[in-house]
Amino acid sequence: MPIPNMYCPNCRDTSPCATADHRTSKDFDGGEDQRKSDKRGLGINWFHRVRQCPVCSEIFATAELDEDLLVKLIDLFASTSELQGKIREYLQRRENITDSSGLPRSK
Ligand SMILES: [Zn+2]
């Protein structure tokens, strides 16, 4: 099977990244099972795989999961980012019209 071209999160190159021993991962937890589940019981499951970049030698972990779930996670990430922006705007506006106690700023 050919080695797939993958994006390296370190050097940002896309090149054939071979599978590396998962025990070399910086987040190796001592477990031999590469099938992982979220610790909160949300039912999110993935396969943990470690790759090595041939350009910069970085060893990085990837997760194989159902693509529909990935799309949902991307949507949630986008919604969360949008909400955080709105909260920042609200707090900025509030700060401009109130003092640190939350009372209207006196002029
Ligand atoms: Zn790299």
Domain borders along the chain are 1-65, 66-107
72 C-alpha to center of ligand 1: Å? Answer: 28
Ligand 1 centroid to Cα of residue 22, in Å, is 17
Distance CA(10)–CA(4), nearest Å, equals: 17
Distance 57 CA to ligand 1 centre (A): 6
What's the gap in Å between 97 CA and the centre of ligand 1?
A: 48
Average pLDDT for runs of 10 along the chain of length 107: 92 95 77 88 93 95 94 97 97 83 70
Residue 21 has a pLDDT of 85
What is the structure's pLDDT at 41? 93
Return the pLDDT at 103: 75
CA of 59 to the centre of ligand 1 (A): 8
Would you state the structure tokens that stand for residue 63, as one six-digit string? Answer: 């997760």
Question: Ligand 1 centre and the CA of 15: distance in Å?
Answer: 8
CA 66, 67, 68, 71 torsion: positive or negative? positive
The predicted pLDDT at position 59 comes to 93
The pLDDT, as a whole number, for residue 8 is: 97
pLDDT, residue 106, reads: 65
H/E stretch holding 59 = strand 59-64
CA of 23 to the centre of ligand 1 (A): 19
- Asked if 31 and 18 touch (Cβ cutoff 8 Å), the reply is no
